Amino acid sequence: MNIIITGALGHIGSRLLDDLPKLIKIKKILIIDNLLTQRYSSLFYLKNSNYEFIEADLSNKDSLIQLEKIKEKYDCLIHLAAMTNAESSLLMKKKFINNNYNATKNVVSYCEKNNIPLIYASSTSVYGTQKKIIDENCTNDNLKPQSPYAESKLKEEKLILSKINKRSLKATIFRFGTISGLSKGMRFHTAINKFCYQSSMNLPITVWKTALNQKRPYLDLIDLVNVIGFFLNNKIFEGKVYNVVTKNLTVNDIIKIIKKYSKNVKLLKVNSKIMNQLSYEVKNSNLDMLNFKFIGNIEKSIRETINLFKNINSK
């Protein structure tokens, strides 16, 4: 199988580069990334020579000219490229939406033209605050994205669904929970990773006021890799949306786990516009119908993240 992965140098992509070849027979992986976040380390020590890298900004239409030069036939394009810090998107709305939406528009047009099935990485943040447990079968009116980042994800989903409806594109949309788990290109502005870093550095864990008991969906990277392997092996591109969540947890639950593996955990309550608003629980109804089995363990991924910093003594 030949696969293209955009944004492959990031937290999720760098783990896919290492682990997908263990699940599926891969001839070649084409990596496309603009190095926006400088994760050169994700290109280190790849296990064999079946990787190719194109440095390109997919939000720029000229990147299509670069893509059109590709000669091989690809079996799937996994689209991860995006600006991803939800909180900073509040300050840079236009930049986020332009980058993410335009990159997806160009990728979709490339997949349509070359008849390549698309896997799109959306986010459970498209749900926003919800009173009841929610799943993929809710109506669009129930979706309440609370940040420009989440708005751009929803706008991109709608573009993809419109192409699926016109039958010009085969695709699967995954709404991933917030990631926990190690990778060469991991980032630390997401909740669990930020808390693990802060506690390891002896810094207070910054928790937004009133949020200790708010629930959110989290996803172990192991489950993410397995779900993509499962869909590629079974060639499932029938145009549906799938939630992918290992566990819904409160901030309190996460801190209790961190306290098991990190000494002297201190809390500092802060104000954060976006984080104050969000509490929701998500069900994997569509994946359950496919009998996909989750094996991830958020506690283990937290322990492994804290362990990364074990040799640093911070005062």
Ligand X SMILES: NC(=O)c1ccc[n+]([C@@H]2O[C@H](COP(=O)([O-])OP(=O)(O)OC[C@H]3O[C@@H](n4cnc5c(N)ncnc54)[C@H](O)[C@@H]3O)[C@@H](O)[C@H]2O)c1
Residues at the site binding ligand X, with contacts judged by CB under 6 A: 7, 9-13, 33-37, 39, 57-59, 80-84, 99, 103, 121, 123, 176, 178-179, 185, 187, 190
Q: Between residues 123 and 146, which has the closer beta carbon with respect to ligand X? A: 123
Least Cβ distance, residue 309 to ligand X (angstroms): 19
Of the candidates 28, 18, 22, the one whose C-alpha atom is nearest the C-alpha of residue 54 is 28
Helical H runs in 127-220?
Answer: 148-165, 191-200
Least Cβ distance, residue 221 to ligand X (angstroms): 9
Least Cβ distance, residue 81 to ligand X (angstroms): 4
At 49, the amino acid letter reads S
Q: Decide if 98 contacts 56 (C-beta within 8 A).
A: no
Least Cβ distance, residue 83 to ligand X (angstroms): 6
Least Cβ distance, residue 313 to ligand X (angstroms): 28
Q: Between residues 109 and 202, which has the closer beta carbon with respect to ligand X? A: 109
Q: Between residues 244 and 258, which has the closer beta carbon with respect to ligand X? A: 244
Q: How many Cα atoms occupy the beta-carbon half-sphere of 209 within 13 Å? A: 4
Q: Between residues 27 and 68, which has the closer beta carbon with respect to ligand X? A: 68
How far is 295 from 223, CA to CA, in rounded Å? 6
* Residue whose token pair is 């917030």: 178
Q: Between residues 160 and 266, which has the closer beta carbon with respect to ligand X? A: 160
Q: Between residues 39 and 170, which has the closer beta carbon with respect to ligand X? A: 39
Alpha-carbon dihedral angle through residues 198, 255, 248, 185, given to the nearest 10 degrees: 20
Contacts of 187 (CB under 8 A, 6+ apart): 10, 11, 37, 84, 193
Task: Using CB positions, name the residue nearest to ligand X.
Answer: 10
Least Cβ distance, residue 59 to ligand X (angstroms): 4
**Strands across the sheet containing 171-176:** 51-55, 28-33, 2-6, 76-79, 118-123, 171-176, 238-244
